[in-house]
Amino acid sequence: MELVGVWLLAPFFVFLFLGIPVAFSLGLASAFFIFFAPSPLPIPALIIVTEAYTGISQFALLALPMFVLTGELLNRADLTDKLVELATHMVGWIKGGLAHVNIVTSMFFAGISGSVIADAASLGPILIPAMIKEKYPRDFSAAVTASSAVIGAIIPPSTVMIIIGSQLGISIGGLFAGGIIPGILVGVFLMVVSFFMSWRRGYGEIHRFQGPIPLARSTFYATPALLIPVILIGGILTGVFTPTEAGAVAVLYSLLVGVFFYRTLNLKKVTDAMVATARVTSSALVIVAMAIVFSRILVFFQVPQELLEFILSVSANRVLIFLMLIVFFLIMGTFMDALANMIILGPLLMPVAVQGLGMEPVQYGLFLMVGLLLGLITPPLGLLLFITTPIARTTLERVSVAVLPFLAVEIIVLLLITFVPDLTLWIPHKLGLGG
């Protein structure tokens, strides 16, 4: 443990402090350890290449660019406007209407894009100015958008779940099924907070319900897109196709919907979507590859076993250990890429959670994912706060305070995931999906 701490972890944090991107910090720290650490078991330098290649050359990861391309195609098909319109007719008339529209649209968009960053970056420029125009405070508008974007990776299908499942050997279908209830709960809890804050503080303008006909019309135009998660999850859970094949189905369906139903996709937009997909996927896979090398070194030197022994020696209280892990997730998630965190910490903490504390693999996967995702909105360094604050033209300090009530209820959902196994396991068990 001391060898790894001095020659691997310390250089990694030094590189991060110097402002080197996470992916390169991971790779440089791994190379530094292999070339310079006085290891009793010499590691060949070629392992950097072989482990990185092996880690990302998995069939399941072929789904990643497919789901990213699906989101890019539908975004360029002007789907966001249709989802916002539907959400407005559904919940826009409730007190705190546009805040609810923001949250519900994120729930719709989550099942299509599967990405936290895509959710915030796509919906923020549309909904934050609209909320400000209707007399919602700037910091509140940014906080709602940032906290609801977290749903993007929880409600399936999710690109993050694909990566976690492929790297930790957890059923991707099980993760998809397990994320349904927690994702809906996050959305409901955020709406409850938005309602009470808007009611007590007089946020927003009051709108009347426009009737069933506008709702039916907007539902009709949004339905082809909203059917995507239904088709994909249904196909995966019933065994019609694998998650990887589901990605190909999603791309084909998105092209057909965008070209023939919405009639907003053309060759240029499809080309732009493919270029954007290549950028997003390549940047994600570079992080994944370097994080895998870093993680393999930790596993090779039995750091997970030592960590398990250390944590269990600190306390035998299962509740206290889980609370310590949650605080650790929030801290780590604030200053390091969530994906890299999941790949590095996933194998390290899996023995602690599964063998030491009795979690099932699917439950552990969601516990790890949600815990680290909440770091993205944990003040003062949460990445989503940095995305939404400039859009709202306010200060990070104000948004950091405004996001706290939303972060609190999302932590409650994380606690439910941790201590109520049926929340994440009921649907997978009913469908015969395990870890």
Mean per-residue pLDDT for 417-425?
A: 94
| Domain contains 312 | yes
pLDDT at position 181, please?
Answer: 93
pLDDT reported for residue 205: 75
Token duo for residue 64: 């990643």
Residue 26 lies in a domain: no
Q: By the 8 A CB rule, do 243 and 173 touch?
A: yes
Confidence of residue 297 (pLDDT cuts 50, 70, 90): confident
For the record, the structure tokens of 156 come out as 């399936």
Is 104 contained in some domain?
yes
Residues of 61-86 as b/e, b for ≥16 C-beta within 10 angstroms? Answer: bbbbbbbbbbbbbbbbbebbebbbbb
In a domain, 62, yes or no: yes
Task: Give the confidence band of 403 by pLDDT, cuts at 50, 70, 90.
Answer: very high
Can you tell me the distance from the alpha carbon of 26 to that of 43, in angstroms, rounded to the nearest whole number?
A: 17
137: preceding bond cis by omega (within 30 degrees): no
Question: Average pLDDT of 126-133?
Answer: 85
Q: How many domains does the chain have?
A: 1
Structural domain includes residue 28: no
The answer to whether residue 18 is domain-embedded is no
pLDDT (tens digit per residue) in 160-202: 888 888 888 898 888 988 999 999 999 999 999 999 999 888 8
Confidence of residue 369 (pLDDT cuts 50, 70, 90): very high
Mean pLDDT on 238-249: 80
| The two three-digit tokens of residue 311, written as one number | 């944590």
Please tell me the predicted confidence (pLDDT) of residue 41.
Answer: 65
Question: Percentage of the chain surpassing pLDDT 70?
Answer: 96
pLDDT at position 115 is 66
pLDDT at 370: 93
What average pLDDT does this structure show over 44-57? 83
> Residue 206: which domain range?
57-430
Q: Across residues 264-272, what is the average pLDDT?
A: 90
Would you place residue 316 in the very low, low, confident or very high pLDDT band (cuts 50, 70, 90)?
A: confident
Question: pLDDT value at position 435?
Answer: 52
User: Minimum mean pLDDT among 183-187, 313-317, 333-337, 407-411: which range?
Assistant: 333-337
- Determine what percent of the chain is predicted with pLDDT higher than 90: 19
The pLDDT tens digits for 54-103 are: 878 877 778 778 878 887 887 788 777 777 788 888 887 888 888 888 89
The residue among 424, 340, 339 whose CA lies nearest residue 68 is 339
pLDDT tens digits for range 211-240:
788 888 888 888 887 787 788 777 877 778
One-letter amino acid identity for 262?
Y
pLDDT of residue 111: 62
Instruction: Assess if residue 61 is contained within a domain.
Output: yes
pLDDT of residue 114: 59
Does 121 fall in a domain? yes
Q: Judge if pTM exceeds 0.75.
A: yes
